[in-house]
C-alpha cells in the first residue's frame, strides 16, 4: 500500500488544492491531506480547527483521503505516519525553485522519501491562498476559486455580506 501526504497551510483551501488532492488520490492507495499547525503566533486567518473543517468539507467526496494537522518538520511527520511519498503542487516556475529546495531537504532528513510534484490544472494556476484572501478582503468575487463553503467563511471573516 502506498500512503502519500499532501502538506500545506491551506489558509484557506482553494479549488487548486482540491484539484491536486483529487488527482493525487487517484495515484495512491491513501492520501493524507495535512494542514500545518503553527505552534508560534502566525499570520493565519483561520485556526487549525477551522482549516481542518474546511478541508474535510471540501474533500469528503474523496473516499481514500484523510485530513489531519501536524506540527514540526513535514518530512519527519511523513515518516511518523508511514507515508513514503510527499505530494506537492506546482503553479509557476518560481514554485519549482522552492519545491526543488524542499525536495533536497526532505531527502536529506528522510533518505528514500519520494516527492511527487503535480502541475496545477491550467484554470487554477493563477490562484494562491494569499491572493484569494486579498480578493475576498475587498469584497471581490472568489466564486470558482474556492469551494462555496470556504467562500462563505472568507467573506464572514472579513465582514463582507454577499
How much is the mean pLDDT over the chain?
95
pLDDT, residue 95, reads 87
Which spans in 46-142 are helix H? Answer: 48-59, 74-81, 93-109, 129-137
Structural domains present in the chain? 3-121 (3.40.50.620)
Q: How do residues 33-58 score in pLDDT, each as one tens digit?
A: 999 997 666 779 999 999 999 999 99
Residue 116 has a CB neighbour count (10 Å cut-off) of 14
List active site positions: 17, 41, 91, 129
**Do residues 14 and 128 touch, judged by C-beta distance below 8 A?**
yes
**Do residues 130 and 152 touch, judged by C-beta distance below 8 A?**
no
Rounded to whole angstroms, the Cα distance separating 15 from 99 reads 20
Rounded to whole angstroms, the Cα distance separating 117 from 89 reads 5
Q: How do residues 95-129 score in pLDDT, each as one tens digit?
A: 899 999 999 999 999 999 999 999 999 999 988 99
What predicted TM-score, i.e. pTM, was given to this entire model? Answer: 0.94
Rounded to whole angstroms, the Cα distance separating 94 from 107 reads 20
Is 16 strand, coil or helix? helix
Amino acid at each position: 500500500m502506498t500512503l502519500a501526504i499532501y502538506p500545506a497551510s491551506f489558509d484557506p483551501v482553494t479549488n487548486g488544492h482540491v484539484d491536486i488532492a483529487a488527482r493525487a488520490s487517484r495515484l495512491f492507495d491513501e492520501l493524507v491531506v495535512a494542514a500545518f499547525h503553527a505552534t508560534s503566533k502566525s499570520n493565519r486567518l483561520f485556526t487549525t480547527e477551522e482549516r481542518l473543517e474546511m478541508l474535510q468539507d471540501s474533500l469528503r467526496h474523496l473516499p481514500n483521503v484523510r485530513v489531519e494537522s501536524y506540527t514540526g518538520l513535514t518530512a519527519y511527520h511523513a515518516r511518523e505516519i508511514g507515508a513514503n511519498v510527499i505530494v506537492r503542487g506546482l503553479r509557476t516556475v518560481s514554485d519549482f525553485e522552492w519545491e526543488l529546495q524542499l525536495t533536497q531537504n526532505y531527502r536529506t532528513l528522510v533518505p528514500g522519501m519520494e516527492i511527487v510534484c503535480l502541475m496545477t490544472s491550467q484554470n487554477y494556476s493563477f490562484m494562491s491562498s494569499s491572493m484569494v484572501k486579498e480578493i475576498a478582503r475587498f469584497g471581490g468575487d472568489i466564486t470558482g476559486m474556492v469551494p462555496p463553503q470556504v467562500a462563505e467563511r472568507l467573506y464572514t471573516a472579513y465582514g463582507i455580506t454577499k
